[in-house]
């Protein structure tokens, strides 16, 4: 079916279009409705037409045979060549983006308020900190007062909680003190020798016996050495010194031994004869035949060798003496070497009393300490929670006070007022945007760069920008968002890049559409060719090669073996052959732009290479 739209296309060549209105409701024949009879061709005319058609078909077949079989390829046109040149080439990235203000500010009300004075109009230029409008808010004033009361109330709560912490700590200290005392008492249930020595005056004790606290068990003496205290005249004050040797004598045993001065005390002992003497204590080894209170004396010598004699004799004393006592009451469970004249070592256990009742007391006190410590922790946590709540209330107070003072508003940035929706006396809801300011002295252009070129983009690099009228601007890359990836269309990932443009003259307008271009890489003093001169072929070994067809009188040594494909439908060859003086030589390429490509190896400047075939005018 042929519609009104394609009717013209369905007519045979030369057929005229029907006049306008010919296909309306008018009749197309005589009044009785029959269509008029079309005039026909005569027999002679039809014969002439048939003969003309036959001749045309024969001519067409003959031309096709000549065109595809016998036509000289020279008819396809001459090979066009290019000369490799030394020059420079740049790889550039281009695209489009919108300009927008570098900075903007939308001022919103902090809470419901009533507008006072409005100090600016749309289109005004304002400067940072310039007053814009005044306002007041009864709601904000009440909120600030309520926040202040809440802060003061919470401070009082915290002070009370801190007192609770102090009380809990006092309870803990008392419990710990009681536990410490009980623990110390338990250690006193074991009686040990305070030093090495010999036991005397031992009280007989058996296991199972009950001992009262303070009961004397024995006397422990250290008789390994004996001590003797004598008095010497102050005439020898400078002749006696600590460590000085002395000869000790025990008359009752007629025993002489060597001792040493251990202590000197400058006392004032006055003899009945009126002599003045100082005290000297000597020490010497006990041969285990000497006992306490034996009479003894000693002599020393001056540096000149004169004898020094004491004022009278003295009594021998043991080196150390201690009374062993059961400090606590309790039943005896173990009795050690608690015997008269028994020799014991320092720290040796002499007697152990039962700790059963004391252990119960200690366990109870330990539980009391644990409970007291938990009480302290709970009290401290209450203080911490209270202080955290106080911080929240103080932050709320600051916010309320800021909201209260935020109704007299100044410009946060310099720029142009683009909207102002308030008037004096107007009631405005909290959160409403009332004034908008934009700063167009510095514009931003958001562009996107694909993953092939984003490695070449760096902060601070320059970007050329052009508006619809051809005016050029120079921008600087200020931000590269590597976390965003765009939509990844066409198999590429795109990254947003922000370009900053100075716009002090104001010619770059908000929302203006711009094209951008920047250089990603550049090669200088390199061999270049038009891009169509570089061909991709498959050599006779089936390897893909990048080549140029070098014009040369002889075959180059690095020419590759290559069988050109058959000519195209019109007989035009795809590549030149050696018979035409062109040979495929491999090349390596580098940078390229829309028109040229860098040849990094395989070709020299001045070499002539094939480009394309010139189309013949007969079938171009």
Q: Could you tell me if 253 and 301 lie in one domain?
A: yes
CA 191 from centre of chain: 63
- Min mean pLDDT across 53-57, 130-134, 230-234, 338-342 is at 53-57
Q: Is the same domain home to 207 and 326?
A: yes
The reported pLDDT for the residue numbered 485 is 61
DSSP conformation class of 66: I
Mean pLDDT, rounded, for 29-51: 47
- Domain membership of residue 343 (yes or no) is yes
**303 part of a folded domain:** yes
Report percent pLDDT > 90 for the chain. 56
Give yes or no: residues 338 and 252 share one domain. yes
What average pLDDT does this structure show over 133-158?
89
* 3-class secondary-structure state, position 157: helix
Q: Which of 39-53, 266-280, 499-513 has the highest mean pLDDT?
A: 266-280
Distance of CA 407 to the CA centre of its chain: 38
Of 402, 248, 385, 235, give the one whose Cα is nearest residue 317.
Answer: 248
Tens digits of residue pLDDT in 522-543 = 889 999 999 999 999 999 999 9
| pLDDT over 70 at 36, yes or no | no
Q: Which two tokens stand for residue 336?
A: 């050690």
Report the SS3 class of residue 343: strand
CA distance 542 to 16: 58
Choice among 39-43, 136-140, 265-269, 539-543 with the minimum mean pLDDT: 39-43
Cβ partners under 8 Å of residue 560, min gap 6: 537, 539, 545, 547, 584, 585, 586
Q: Is there a domain that residue 267 lies in?
A: yes
457: left (phi over 0), alpha (psi -120 to 50) or beta: beta
In a domain, 620, yes or no: no
What DSSP designation does 69 have?
A: I
Q: What is the pLDDT of residue 483?
A: 78
Residues 228 and 335 occupy one common structural domain:
yes
For residue 593, the model assigns a pLDDT of 81
pLDDT value, residue 495: 87
Q: How confident is the model at residue 12 (pLDDT cuts 50, 70, 90)?
A: very low
| CATH number for 368 | 1.20.120
What SS3 class is residue 44?
A: helix
Q: What does the pLDDT look like over 63-91, one tens digit per residue?
A: 444 444 444 544 457 889 999 999 998 87
CB within 8 Å of 219: residues ≥ 6 apart: 199, 200, 201, 321, 322, 323, 324
The answer on 347 and 227 residing in a single domain is yes
Kindly report the average pLDDT of the chain as a whole number. Answer: 84
Distance of CA 530 to the CA centre of its chain: 50
- Whether residue 269 is found in the same domain as residue 169: no
- pLDDT tens readout for residues 411-461: 999 988 999 999 999 998 888 999 999 988 888 998 888 887 888 888 998
Supply the pLDDT for residue 26: 37
Q: How many C-beta atoms surround the C-beta of residue 171 within 10 A?
A: 16
Percent of the chain topping pLDDT 70: 84
Q: Is 123 left (phi over 0), alpha (psi -120 to 50) or beta?
A: left
* pLDDT tens readout for residues 295-344: 999 999 999 999 999 999 999 999 999 999 998 888 999 999 999 999 99
Give, rounded to a whole angstrom, the gap between the first and last alpha carbons of the chain. Answer: 37
Count of the separate structural domains present in the chain: 2
Q: How many helical (H) and strand (E) elements, i.e. helices and strands, does the chain have?
A: 4, 32
CATH code where residue 266 lies: 2.40.30.170
User: What residue numbers bound the domain in which 362 lies?
Assistant: 136-189+355-406
- Which one of 325, 353, 381 terminates a domain? 353
Residues 6+ apart with CB under 8 A from 38: none
Q: Which neighbouring-strand residues pair with 278?
A: 232
What Rg do the C-alpha atoms of the chain give, in angstroms?
60
Q: Cα separation of 610 and 106, whole Å?
A: 64
Lay out the sheet containing 330-335: strands in order across.
Answer: 190-192, 349-353, 330-335, 210-211
Shared-domain flag, residues 270 and 374 = no
User: Are 393 and 348 in a shared domain?
Assistant: no
pLDDT at 25: 38
How much is the average pLDDT of 550-561? Answer: 93
pLDDT of residue 577: 87
Backbone angles phi, psi at 353, to 5 degrees: -110, 155
Convert 407-431 to b/e letters by CB count within 10 Å (16 or more is b): bebebebbbbbbebebeeeeebeee
Q: What is the mean pLDDT of residues 383-404?
A: 88
Q: Which of 188, 193, 189, 187 is nearest to 338 (CA)?
A: 193
- Is the pTM value of this prediction over 0.75? no
Confidence of residue 569 (pLDDT cuts 50, 70, 90): low
DSSP assignment letter at 532:
G
Beta bridge partners of 489: none
pLDDT at 155 over 80: yes
Q: What is the C-alpha to C-alpha distance for residues 313 and 311, in angstroms, rounded to an integer? A: 7
Both 346 and 201 in one domain: the answer is yes
Residue finishing a domain among 406, 425, 446: 406
Whether 348 and 299 share a structural domain: yes
Q: Is 120 within a domain?
A: no
CA-closest candidate to residue 586, choices 576, 574, 601: 601
Q: Is residue 439 part of a domain?
A: no
Strands 197-200 and 215-233 turn out to be antiparallel
Residue 382 shares a structural domain with residue 244? no
DSSP state of 292: T
Q: What is the pLDDT of residues 482-537, one digit of tens each?
A: 876 655 555 678 888 999 999 888 888 888 899 988 887 888 999 999 999 999 99
Residue 163 is assigned to a structural domain of this protein: yes
Examine the domain organization and report whether 202 and 335 are in the same domain: yes
Backbone angles phi, psi at 481, to 5 degrees: -95, 95
Q: Is residue 233 part of a domain?
A: yes
pLDDT tens digits, 178-207: 888 888 888 888 999 999 999 999 999 999
Of 2-16, 371-385, 460-474, 576-590, the range with the lowest mean pLDDT is 2-16
- Sequence-distant (6+) residues with CB within 8 A of 9 are none
């Amino acid at each position: 079916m042929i519609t009104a739209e394609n009717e013209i296309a369905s007519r045979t060549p030369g057929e005229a279009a029907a006049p306008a209105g010919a296909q309306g409701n008018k009749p197309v024949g005589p009044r009785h409705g029959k269509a008029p009879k079309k005039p026909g061709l005569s027999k002679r005319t039809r014969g002439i037409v048939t003969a003309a058609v036959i001749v045309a078909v024969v001519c067409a077949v003959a031309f096709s045979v000549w065109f595809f079989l016998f036509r000289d390829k020279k008819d396809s046109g001459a090979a066009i060549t290019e000369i490799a040149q030394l020059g420079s080439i740049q790889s550039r990235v281009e695209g489009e983006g919108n300009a927008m203000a570098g900075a903007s500010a939308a001022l919103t009300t902090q809470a419901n308020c009533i507008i006072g004075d409005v100090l600016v109009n749309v289109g005004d230029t304002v400067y940072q900190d310039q007053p814009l409008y005044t306002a007041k808010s009864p709601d904000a004033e009440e909120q600030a007062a309520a926040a202040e009361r809440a802060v003061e109330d919470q401070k009082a709560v915290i002070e009370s909680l801190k007192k609770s912490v102090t009380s809990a700590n006092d309870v803990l200290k008392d419990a710990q003190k009681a536990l410490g005392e009980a623990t110390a008492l338990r250690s006193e249930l074991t009686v040990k020798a305070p030093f090495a020595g010999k036991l005397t005056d031992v009280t007989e004790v058996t296991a199972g016996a009950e001992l009262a606290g303070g009961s004397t068990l024995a006397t422990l003496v250290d008789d390994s050495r004996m001590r003797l205290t004598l008095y010497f005249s102050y005439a020898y004050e400078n002749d006696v010194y600590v460590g000085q040797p002395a000869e000790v004598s025990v008359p009752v045993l007629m025993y002489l031994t060597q001792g040493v001065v251990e202590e000197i005390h400058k006392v004032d002992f006055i003899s009945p004869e009126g002599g003045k003497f100082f005290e000297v204590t000597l020490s010497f080894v006990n041969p285990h035949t000497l006992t306490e209170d034996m009479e003894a004396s000693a002599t020393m010598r001056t540096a000149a060798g004169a004898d020094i004699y004491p004022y009278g004799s003295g009594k021998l004393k043991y080196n150390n003496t201690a009374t062993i006592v059961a400090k606590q009451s309790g039943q005896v469970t173990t009795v050690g070497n608690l015997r008269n004249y028994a020799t014991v070592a320092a720290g040796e256990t002499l007697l152990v009393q039962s700790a059963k009742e004391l252990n119960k007391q200690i366990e109870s006190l330990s539980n009391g300490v644990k409970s007291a410590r938990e009480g302290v922790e709970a009290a401290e946590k209450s203080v911490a929670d209270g202080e955290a709540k106080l911080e929240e209330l103080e932050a709320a107070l600051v916010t309320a006070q800021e909201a209260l003072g935020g109704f007299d508003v100044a410009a946060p940035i310099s720029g142009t007022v683009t909207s102002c929706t308030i008037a004096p006396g107007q009631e405005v809801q909290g959160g409403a945007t009332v004034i908008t300011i934009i700063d167009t002295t510095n514009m931003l252009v958001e562009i996107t760069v694909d993953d092939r070129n984003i490695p070449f983009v760096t902060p601070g690099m320059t970007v050329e920008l052009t508006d619809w009228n051809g005016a050029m601007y120079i921008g600087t890359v200020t931000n590269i968002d590597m976390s965003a990836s765009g939509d990844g269309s066409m198999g590429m990932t795109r990254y947003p890049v922000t370009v900053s443009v100075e716009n002090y003259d104001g010619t770059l307008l908000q929302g203006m559409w711009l094209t951008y271009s920047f250089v990603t890489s550049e090669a200088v003093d390199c061999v270049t060719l038009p891009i169509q001169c570089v061909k991709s072929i498959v050599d006779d070994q089936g390897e893909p090669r990048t080549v140029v067809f070098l014009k040369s009188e002889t075959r180059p040594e690095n020419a590759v073996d290559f069988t050109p494909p058959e000519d195209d439908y019109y007989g035009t060859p795809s590549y030149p052959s050696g018979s035409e003086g062109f040979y495929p030589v491999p090349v390596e390429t580098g940078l390229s732009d829309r028109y040229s490509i860098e040849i990094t190896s395989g070709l020299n400047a001045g070499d002539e290479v094939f480009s394309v075939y010139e189309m013949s005018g007969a079938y171009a």
